């Protein structure tokens, strides 16, 4: 976050639905005294499946221009094609962002990048839908090569094939590694899309402060429960204001100057990686239970010696490639294997 304890804040409705909805939401943001740097609203909404609301299109650009004229806020929209970039630039949209679905496709990112060639406005890039660090890096590199303005990143979480309390699982190790490699690139947190529901958003916003993100992109709506898209993750502006007021801000001077504060940051990163580690272990044990059920159906013994020897050999090779000792890998495998046998046994009794 900023050294003056003010997060860079992109705020607005998920979608521009009607002129009245956009202007009323902007008015409520202004009345609530929410700290806002950029007003956002999606006018083109790439949806996973057809039939959902996909945005109002170009007519929404005029509504955003009214917001800018009334309150002086820069305005931001998502773009996913060269034509959308052209329409946005012709309408003097100040800030563009590339969504998670677009960031997943290098061809789409390259098309947008080419349309942005030589432009000086800020461009923010959300992480790809799937947890692939190289895809995110590739999207960043394509945009940086073409634009002359500021480029930033937005962490909105990832789609995973397992149960999670989040709509899009944080998978913290990926943004942490992204920030380690590109410390000069600002990164925002998108707690709205990560959480998918209001109850989780305050915790995520606090975590964004604790992890020294540069700000957030958050969704508000004049009537959240009636929103045409992502209703469950949007707040009324006054409610978001109260959440921000309750955030415990860190002392930036101590974080930047003191080794002890730096150590605390590292520990927080480790805690998040540990959480992900146990999520992965839980997934592994769930699969072990399914294996146990298959063995029961086919009258196989739990212990398959050849498989054990094959797996430990792979573990030792992987551990060596990561600089881990043979003794550690052997102890770790024994512990995981014994727990796996216990979970397989649950399906045999």
> Which residue ranges make up each domain of the chain?
8-250, 259-346
Q: Is the pLDDT confidence value at 236 over 90?
A: yes
Backbone angles phi, psi at 172, to 5 degrees: -60, -30
Q: Is the pLDDT confidence value at 224 over 90?
A: yes
Backbone angles phi, psi at 229, to 5 degrees: -150, 140
Q: Is the pLDDT confidence value at 293 over 90?
A: no
Q: Give dist(CA 311, CA 180) in Å, integer.
A: 32
pLDDT at position 347 is 55
**What CATH number labels 8-250?**
3.20.20.70
Q: Is the pLDDT confidence value at 309 over 90?
A: no
* Sign of the CA dihedral running 154, 159, 163, 167: positive
pLDDT in tens, 154-203: 999 999 876 678 999 999 989 999 999 999 999 999 999 999 999 999 99
H helices present in 211-349, as ranges: 237-245, 252-257, 259-297, 305-321, 326-346
* CB 215 within 8 Å of CB 10: yes
**What CATH number labels 259-346?**
1.20.59.10
Residue 1 binned pLDDT confidence (cut-offs 50, 70, 90):
very low
pLDDT average, residue stretch 113-118: 96
281 half-sphere exposure, CB direction, 13 A CA radius: 14
pLDDT at position 34 is 95
């Amino acid at each position: 976050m900023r050294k003056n304890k003010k997060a860079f804040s992109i705020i607005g409705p998920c979608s521009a639905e009607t002129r009245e909805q956009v202007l009323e939401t902007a008015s409520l943001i202004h009345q609530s005294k929410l700290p806002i740097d950029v007003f956002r609203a999606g006018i083109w909404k790439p949806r996973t499946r057809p039939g959902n609301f996909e945005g109002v299109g170009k007519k929404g650009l005029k509504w955003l221009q009214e917001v800018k004229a009334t309150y002086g806020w820069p305005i931001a929209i998502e773009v996913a094609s060269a034509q959308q970039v052209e329409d946005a630039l012709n309408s003097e949209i100040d800030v563009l962002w590339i969504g998670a679905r677009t960031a997943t496709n290098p061809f789409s990112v390259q098309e947008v990048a080419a349309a942005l060639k030589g432009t000086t406005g800020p461009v923010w890039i959300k992480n790809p839908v799937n947890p692939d660090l190289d895809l995110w890096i590739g999207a960043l590199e394509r945009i940086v090569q073409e634009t002359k303005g500021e480029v930033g990143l937005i962490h909105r979480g990832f789609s995973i094939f397992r149960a999670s309390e989040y709509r899009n699982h944080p998978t913290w190790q990926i943004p942490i590694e992204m920030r380690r490699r590109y410390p000069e690139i600002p990164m925002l947190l998108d707690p709205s899309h990560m959480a998918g529901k209001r109850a989780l958003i305050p915790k995520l916003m606090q975590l964004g402060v604790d992890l020294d993100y540069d700000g957030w992109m958050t969704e508000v709506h004049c009537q959240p429960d009636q929103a045409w898209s992502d209703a469950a993750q949007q707040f009324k502006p006054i409610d978001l204001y109260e959440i921000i007021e309750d955030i415990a801000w860190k002392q930036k001077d101590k974080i930047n100057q003191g080794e002890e504060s730096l150590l605390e940051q590292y520990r927080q990163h480790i805690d998040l990686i540990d959480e992900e580690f146990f999520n992965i272990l839980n997934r592994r044990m769930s699969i072990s239970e399914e294996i146990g059920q298959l063995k029961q159906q086919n009258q196989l013994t739990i212990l398959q010696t050849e498989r054990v020897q094959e797996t430990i050999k792979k573990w030792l090779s992987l551990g060596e490639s990561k600089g881990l000792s043979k003794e550690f890998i052997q102890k770790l495998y024994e512990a995981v294997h014994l727990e796996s046998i216990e979970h397989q046994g649950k399906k045999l009794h």
